[in-house]
Structure 1
Amino acid sequence: MTEKLLGSIEAGGTKFVCGVGTDNLDIIEKVSFPTTTPEETMPLVFEFFKKYNLKAIGIGSFGPIDIQKESATYGHITSTPKIAWQNYDFVGAMKKKFDLPIAFTTDVNAAAYGEYVAGCGKDLSSCVYYTIGTGVGAGAIQDGRFIEGFSHPEMGHMIVRRHSDDQFKGCCPFHDDCLEGMAAGPAIEKRAGKKGQELSEEEPIWDIEAYYIAQAAYNTTLILSPDVIIFGGGVMKQRHMLAKVHQEFEKLINGYVKTPPLKEYIVIPELDDDPGTIGCLALAKKEIEFS
């Protein structure tokens, strides 16, 4: 193939999703590899991209990561619980193999950007994207720019009010009662003794789950007032969850703030499983403009 393409790496805690696409953000090929160690996973990434004529690569990585370009550790995965990846120079490793412009951000920022340019956030000025899966993370965008400062947001670790029927102590090693510790997939599994996809829609645990997710929407509404809040990730593939979140959100907000209609305001991704890949392609395209 002679056409120069954009590369995408959605580096998640469970798997790496690599893809290539066009300037129109059409995905040409997408593959995934298990996230094991840099020594095992990265050679598969390099091999995948070697067969393409690339002009830029966008990376959305699990974190925490260093996003400050003036920092000595820019492009590194930093204090991740995944021991093998701690202090890994992700961008540096890619630059050694591919001397190209490389955009680097969090995996949830990348997904947020995908929805912003081609999904639920298209033609809006702002959006917030949460992934509720193995972990919980979020990215926020205002007028095409990520909302961040000394580092990227860690909204998945906001403290939430405990549900009155929930005796679970949480599974975050850093915080009691944070959103990730109470609402991520592993929290559901530890409470129920089975994975969420094995539970019926009638299980009371879903009401508890919706209560925590609605608190994330409530806090986001009062802090950022975005045009849309998008909840993705494996937990939100339970299609009955969205209505439950809407119900809990209405109770929490209690008429204090007038939001857009909830069916348009608190939504699931329009891009299904591709927000991260499309977001990385779009960030790669944007990186060329600034390189």
Structure 2
Amino acid sequence: MVLEQPPVIINLSPTITELEEEHDLFQVAVEQFLIAADVLGLDNDMRKILSHCQREVIVNFPVEMDDGSVEVFTGYRVQHNSGPGPTKGGIRYHQSVTLSEVKALAMWMTWKCAVVGLPYGGAKGGVQVNPKLLSQAELQNLTRRYTTEIQPFIGPNQDIPAPDVNTNPQIMAWLMDTYSMNVGYSVPGVTTGKPIVLGGSEGRNEATGRGCVFAIENAARIQGLDLAKSSTVVQGFGNPGSVAARLMAELGSAVVAVSDSRGGIYNPNGLDLDAVSAHKARTGTVVG
């Protein structure tokens, strides 16, 4: 099949690029803010305030592993600005997480909330860990201990975590349960992205990927690109990427390639996304 238009490339991979490694990511975020501040005509006092994060928490905490040994992990929780209201932002589990990265993401969360008029400031969290190397029990131990360490700084009226890279509704359920046990009563509002049965929101699981496709549809319309005659390549076939791939296929775009942290697959005639998702659920990767 000859495709008449160029491919749509969707990058939803959490991998830090070489450019980001060479430059301090938070400094990049500040530079972006200052460009926007010039356009908005913000005064110097407001620039100074918003160029810094309000609170940066670093925790080093022990976790008992399945073999009885103890490993110490480093976690972060950063609140950029609580002026608009409680801060809000995801928690990611990744071996490359740094304080600079978390600070930048917290700042960007402030702007995202402001752009759509939500009464929240930005926050972000992360733990330096490769969760793919942990068992389910170890992952639960890590989540519960990390939650306990940052508990003084989170809460439904203070700072509300959410899923991010390598975290999911189960992680949020453990976080909510740990927080609730520590205060002595159930606090479902401490996190979003919970399982539906615990008060989570319908559509939350698909929201990131769907938002990506909304942006693609608008960009395609402006560029005069017929998505039904274009192919799609998705880098990062996790939750957002797999949802975006399925939605692009529903729009008539042939998804010809997808990848994850272990490699990629390609079929010029289009991939069977149901088969790819089933294979990843079974093996942990799209490769094979």
Same fold per TM (> 0.5)? no
Instruction: Report the structure, 1 or 2, having the larger helix content.
Output: 2
Higher relative contact order (CA 8 A, sep 6+): 1
Instruction: Pick the structure with greater CA Rg.
Output: 2
How high is the TM-score relative to the length of structure 2? 0.34
